[in-house]
Structure 1
């Protein structure tokens, strides 16, 4: 298997039996990098750092949220999230408000501009991914569809390892 160039390594079929963590990590990294690069080529307005996009995604599902909750969900230091949130407040993507459950604390919410930015980002990525998937043959698309539940389970397992479970 190591004699083949990386670009020709099979991702599915018999090679799947000898799943290599290094190759899976490389595939995920390359996929993420390619998606990020292609979106910025096709949609030059997209300038948000991935850390901010990921916070928008979390807030899109869990808003309002405390900084400590966002940090825990993203597995980042609260000071890092606080700095990112400060930048996002400046650009009008999020707002900080008093927590109605505990007036001593604050929560972060998406603004209309943040929600619009998240929707545009998601739509652009889905369009780009749809185009790439459409260019693949049926067998490859089917293999990817079949692998999705396992990839979600792998992500959950990695999260449990980080949590010490």
Structure 2
């Protein structure tokens, strides 16, 4: 392993640890991670087949069916027929679902900003300088399901 590979692996491990910590420490107890992820997938990708959502979220179709039933009951998503396949179900994010996401994202950003305020000026400047690159990195990640 070269020094640059070792450095990249060290950086990747630090990012992984930070991501896991950030999720745990800023988690919104109102929504499970799977629920929040499903809503975010619908927000980014628009209406989707229930079966495709299950694959993207890494859950079984029966589990996704149960989740969508709860989302529908709570007014966060709707279920409709797929015009191209009468056997398939299309799931769509509602305005209320989008509002929940915006509120959740705002609370998480506020919590993270408060944590950034605890850093010294030099460390905060380093994190702020890396923010653009980290944003670009997330846009190139194929697991985001941008389809």
TM range (shorter): 0.7 to 0.9
Q: How many residues align?
A: 135
Question: Superposed, which structure 2 residues align to 1:88-103 within 5 Å?
Answer: 88-103=71-86
Greater displacement, 61-70 / 125-134: 125-134
SS in 2 for 1:135: coil
Ranges in structure 1 where 5+ consecutive residues have no aligned partner: 1-14, 41-45, 160-165
Of 107, 110, 116 in structure 2, the residue corresponding to residue 127 of structure 1 is 110
- The alpha-carbon deviation at position 27 of structure 1 amounts to 3.4
**What is the TM-score of this pair, normalised by structure 2?**
0.72
Of 15, 32, 49 in structure 1, the residue corresponding to residue 23 of structure 2 is 32
Check 1:16–1:140 CA distance in 2 against 1; reply closer, same or farther (3 A cut): farther
Q: Return the alpha-carbon distance in structure 2 between the equivalents of residues 139 and 107 of structure 1.
A: 49
| Residue aligning to 1:55 | 38
Q: CA RMSD in A?
A: 2.9
Ranges in structure 2 where 5+ consecutive residues have no aligned partner: 1-5
Q: Return the alpha-carbon distance in structure 2 between the equivalents of residues 104 and 18 of structure 1.
A: 46
Check 1:126–1:105 CA distance in 2 against 1; reply closer, same or farther (3 A cut): same
Question: How big is each residue's C-alpha offset from its partner over 1:66-96, in whole Å with a ceiling of 9 and x where there is no partner?
Answer: 1122122222222222221111111111110
- The alpha-carbon deviation at position 25 of structure 1 amounts to 4.1
Question: Superposed, which structure 2 residues align to 1:1-165 within 5 Å?
Answer: 16=7, 19=10, 25-36=16-27, 40=28, 47-147=30-130, 149=133, 152=137, 156=141, 159=143
- The alpha-carbon deviation at position 57 of structure 1 amounts to 0.6
SS in 1 for 2:55: helix
Question: How big is each residue's C-alpha offset from its partner over 1:42-72, in whole Å with a ceiling of 9 and x where there is no partner?
Answer: xxxx511121111111111112111122122
Checking the alignment, whether the CA contact within 8 Å between 2:50 and 2:88 is kept in structure 1 is no
Q: Return the alpha-carbon distance in structure 1 between the equivalents of residues 48 and 22 of structure 2.
A: 30
